[in-house]
């Protein structure tokens, strides 16, 4: 039925045909394509040895100070969008209002961006704690991961990682406290042993959750961990 009935754009209400966003709103989405730290995807200065402007998938940013001082457990991060308006509307629309059609919008730039690099062996989704899963009914990161797995033809390990500590809500806590809460928050089975893995998540804010999950994956024997996110919050 959805294909037969004209829809209204989720953001501006204009006629969107059979799509979730109208063409102008789709074209206005803030792609995360300025030079950024290859490890954590924070915008940084341009890498001096690369020609500029380079294609966004070449990610010609320098490694940021934070990653130099405290290298995270993951080696690379790729984000589809910068987390600002209207991503702060689109991601909650998926998470809390069951707008599943948003999954395509949130994953399409990632497909394009990661396809040019060497792909991981398997994907895992950032797990929700069972209590949150029961509240929400689904894991939004798993929906994103399933779409990416299908489009890129990479296996998705759905039952390999578990969140064993209910760390939510993390918002508003100081970074130190967040990290303490997240220590040993995840366990992974040895299905990841010797595999190169990409973790799929909706939003990367401080990167603490992704770092904690990456550590758990490495403890379980993973060879390498990178992060694929729909939106990257830019830290001041």
Give the footprint of Zn ion on this chain (CB under 5 A): 9, 11-12, 14, 22, 25, 37, 39-40, 64, 67
- Least CB distance from residue 98 to Zn ion, whole Å? 20
Q: Among residues 25 and 142, whose Cβ is nearest to Zn ion?
A: 25
Category of 194 on φ-ψ map: left (φ > 0), alpha (ψ -120 to 50) or beta: left
Q: Among residues 105 and 161, whose Cβ is nearest to Zn ion?
A: 105
Q: Among residues 82 and 139, whose Cβ is nearest to Zn ion?
A: 82
- Least CB distance from residue 5 to Zn ion, whole Å? 17
Q: Among residues 9 and 216, whose Cβ is nearest to Zn ion?
A: 9
Question: What is the CB neighbour count within 10 angstroms for residue 89?
Answer: 11
Q: Among residues 11 and 142, whose Cβ is nearest to Zn ion?
A: 11
Q: How far is 156 from 154, CA to CA, in rounded Å?
A: 6
| Sign of torsion over alpha carbons 9, 88, 212, 161 | negative
Task: Give 208-211's long-range contacts (Cβ < 8 A, gap of 24+).
Answer: 208/170, 208/175, 208/178, 208/179, 208/182, 209/126, 209/167, 209/170, 209/182, 209/185, 210/72, 210/74, 210/77, 210/126, 211/72, 211/73, 211/74, 211/182
SS3 helix, strand, coil % of the chain, rounded to 5?
Answer: 35, 20, 50
Q: Among residues 108 and 133, whose Cβ is nearest to Zn ion?
A: 108
- Least CB distance from residue 153 to Zn ion, whole Å? 29
Q: Are strands 224-232 and 76-82 parallel, antiparallel or unpaired?
A: parallel
Question: What is the CB neighbour count within 10 angstroms for residue 143?
Answer: 20
Both tokens of residue 136? 């929400």
- Least CB distance from residue 24 to Zn ion, whole Å? 6
- Least CB distance from residue 71 to Zn ion, whole Å? 9
- Least CB distance from residue 143 to Zn ion, whole Å? 22
């Amino acid at each position: 039925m959805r294909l037969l009935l004209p829809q209204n754009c989720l953001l501006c209400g204009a006629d969107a045909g059979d799509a979730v966003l109208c063409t102008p709103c789709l074209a206005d989405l803030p792609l995360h394509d300025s030079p950024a730290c290859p490890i954590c995807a924070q915008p940084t200065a341009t890498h001096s040895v690369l020609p500029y402007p380079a294609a966004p998938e070449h990610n010609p940013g320098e490694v940021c100070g934070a990653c130099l001082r405290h290298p995270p457990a993951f080696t690379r991060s790729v984000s589809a969008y910068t987390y600002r308006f209207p991503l702060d509307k689109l991601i909650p629309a998926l998470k809390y209002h069951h707008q599943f059609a948003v999954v395509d919008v949130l994953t399409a730039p990632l497909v394009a961006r990661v396809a040019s690099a060497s792909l991981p062996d398997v994907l895992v989704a950032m797990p929700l704690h069972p209590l949150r899963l029961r509240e929400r009914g689904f894991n939004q990161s798993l929906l994103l991961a399933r779409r990416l797995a299908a489009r890129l033809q990479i296996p998705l390990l759905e039952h390999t990682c578990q969140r064993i500590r209910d760390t939510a809500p993390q918002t508003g806590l100081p970074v130190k406290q967040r990290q303490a809460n997240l220590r040993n928050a995840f366990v992974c089975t040895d299905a990841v042993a010797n595999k190169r893995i990409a973790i799929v998540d909706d939003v990367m804010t401080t990167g603490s959750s992704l770092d904690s999950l990456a550590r758990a994956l490495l403890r379980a024997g993973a060879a390498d961990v990178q992060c694929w996110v729909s939106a990257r919050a830019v830290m001041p």
